[in-house]
Amino acid sequence: MTPLPASRFPLLVRHLGRQPYLPVWQAMRAFTDARDDETPDELWLLEHDPVFTLGQAGKREHVLAPGEIPVIPVDRGGQVTYHGPGQIVAYPLLDLRRLGVGVRELVRRIEQAITDTLAHWNIVAARREGAPGVYVGDAKIAALGLRVRRGCSFHGLAFNVAMDLEPFLRINPCGYAGLQVTQVIDLGGTSSLAEVGNALVHELCHQFDLAPRNAEPVLPPVNPADSADPSMDRRALA
């Protein structure tokens, strides 16, 4: 990988392993609410236990047959998607005002970082205007769902590496009936989430001019006052 140039700001990177969805959602909301102008940006990398998440614009009609997999309405943008083992989920918790980045530019830079990550394995990918995410041919390999509050981003991206793709047949991915999905391993790339994750960190830091620093592989503590189940916060879904 090309060495990163000197950067203005650090990015604390937490490799969190496999995690249930709700505690991570709760933690990123609490982190965003508690941060101030001096709080370093963070990037959380993890896999989730199997779950469907339904964004603010999500319609239940796009959840076709979830079966035993839970469906959780959440406060991000976008429609329905699936998270599960073998997929990298990355949550960039960025102070956009400090970085001088708007929402459209945030989306574009994340998509470019994913595209550049895939190029490490000679996989040619592209973004689509009006349909956030990254595609290889007609198949989607990475989905984006973001939220910005108080000038700071949370939620993030889901990047298919080496997973069971069957659950995507139970939904209309991102609200598109019949949308094909693909993954790195099926395109001749690696099956290693660690390798893809390291490349993704590098490319995200390149896009946002950040210097990565490994942080403790644990979720930041949540204030007990914020311990209510965020899936019950209907105001976030209005």
Closest by Cα among 33, 43, 159 to 92: 43
Which residue is catalytic, options 88, 174, 184, 205?
Answer: 174
Residue 16: helix, strand or coil by DSSP? strand
Residue 147: helix, strand or coil by DSSP? strand
Residue 84 and residue 51 in contact, taking contact as beta carbons nearer than 8 Å: yes
Q: Residue 43 is encoded by which pair of tokens? A: 């990037």
Rounded CA Rg of the chain: 17
Q: Catalytic site residue 174?
A: yes
Q: What burial class does residue 144 get, using C-beta atoms within 10 Å of its C-beta: 0-12 exposed, 13-18 middle, 19+ buried? A: buried
CA atoms 166, 71, 235, 35: torsion sign: negative
224: alpha, beta or left? (left if phi > 0; alpha if psi -120 to 50) = alpha
Position 189: which residue type? G
Residue 48 and residue 155 in contact, taking contact as beta carbons nearer than 8 Å: no
Q: Which residues are catalytic?
A: 174
